[in-house]
Amino acid sequence: MTTIIDQLEAPVRVNGNPGYEWTPPGSFDELDSTLENFFVENQQSQERRLAAKLPDEQKTFRLGEPLRREDQFEGIIGCSASLREVFGQLKIVAPTDSTVLLLGETGTGKELIARALHNRSSRRDRPFVRVNCAAIPSGLLESELFGHERGAFTGAINRKIGRFELANGGTIFLDEIGDIPAELQPKLLRVLQEQEFERLGSTQTIRVNVRVVAATSRNLPQMVADRQFRGDLYYWLNVFPIRLPALRERMEDIPLLVRYFTARYATRMQKSVDQVSSKAMNELPQYSWPGNVRELQNFIERAVILSPGKVLRLPLSELNQHNSFADIPGQSPGSRLTLKDAEREHIIQALAETNWIIGGLKGAAARLGLKRTTLISKMQRLGISRALA
């Protein structure tokens, strides 16, 4: 942007006082525009200088700016290295009809990934049917998946079309597949292998053309070893596994998620919240977020409700009460590490293993799945240096 300052020429003396010689633009409109730009730029510059002098608790992080295209993918918010790896796998497998198994903790966005797989496939114009296998009673799950005929059991007064039949030509998303009852697993395996089944109470075989995307937060290999899950079913599901990172593994995405959820709930509640204190924002990555993105989303919704003005009021006291890895099995309370301590130890270990080489293919940043600049920023924030390690 060209400002009025750029148009000032060499210093001269006017009435004995130092000044500048300036040739005005060709019209009053141009003059008005030039002056307006100058005052706006000058005001912004003053705001930046004043903000730099404020104590940390008074500095604010702007939330009103729109997300960039590279910060979101099919409605999934984030640009961390671990999430970009997931996006890369998604782009590869989405155009195929192969079965995909999504692995990750609860709240990591498995349904969003499943929908993205469907939207980027040739089946995008066909149905996307979701089934939560853990939410349906085991006695009703077979009827939900495969349907039933009238009179198949007490209360079956009409024929019911099952979810697999409804998804014909499209995609079926089997969420929490690890909770499917053992007696139903052989019938599910048959659908995967043969793409055919019978409704309850019928001998007529129904053929379907359905892509299966399954998801679980459970350890299926361990369940196979414990004979709680069929090995052959697991191998059919595990054609293309995609592991979704927990939020604590991609903390650099938190500002983007806070911005997205704040705008979403502020619009819904007709509020004008568009700022948060920098100090409060810096506190969020110090919490382990065991509920992942879903927990952060609910936390931000609560914060918007509590915010009467433009500044987002984060109820940080709630996080401070749980700021430890309390859910790690086998740890006594005295041995629990905060997220900050665990992150520091993890980075120091990677640096030691790479002889404190940060960049390059064999450096610590590559080993940790981070950008070199991100790792350097984390080292500075955590006070990590070779001399102190």
In angstroms, rounded to a whole number, what is the distance separating the alpha carbons of residues 242 and 244? Answer: 6
Return the C-alpha torsion angle 120, 261, 246, 238, nearest 10: -20
Model confidence over 259-282: pLDDT tens digits?
A: 999 999 999 999 999 888 888 888
Task: Answer yes or no: are the C-beta atoms of 121 and 211 closer than 8 Å.
Answer: yes
3-state secondary structure of 332: coil
Residues paired with residue 14 on neighbouring β-strands, in sequence order: 17
End-to-end Cα, the chain, rounded Å: 47
DSSP string, 370-388: --HHHHHHHHHHHT--TTT
Residue-wise pLDDT for 315-350, tens only, equals 888 887 665 444 444 444 434 455 667 777 778 878
CA–CA dist 122, 48 (Å, integer): 49
pLDDT of residue 6 exceeding 90, the answer is no
Is pLDDT of 39 > 70?
Answer: no
Q: Which helix (H) or strand (E) holds 101?
A: strand 100-103
359 near 372, Cβ under 8 Å? yes
pLDDT at 335: 40
Helices 185-194 and 138-146, interaxial angle, to 10°? 20
The gap from C-alpha 271 to its chain's centroid, in whole angstroms, comes to 24
Q: Is 223 helix (H, G, I), strand (E, B) or coil?
A: helix
Q: Identify which has the larger pLDDT, 369 or 79.
A: 79
Q: What is the gyration radius of the CA atoms in the chain, in angstroms?
A: 28
pLDDT tens per residue, range 60-98: 678 877 788 888 888 899 999 999 999 999 999 999 999
pTM of the predicted protein model: 0.69
Local structure of residue 201 (DSSP, 8 states):
T
Does the pLDDT at position 152 exceed 90?
no
Contact 347/334 with Cβ under 8 angstroms? no
- Model pLDDT, residue 222: 92
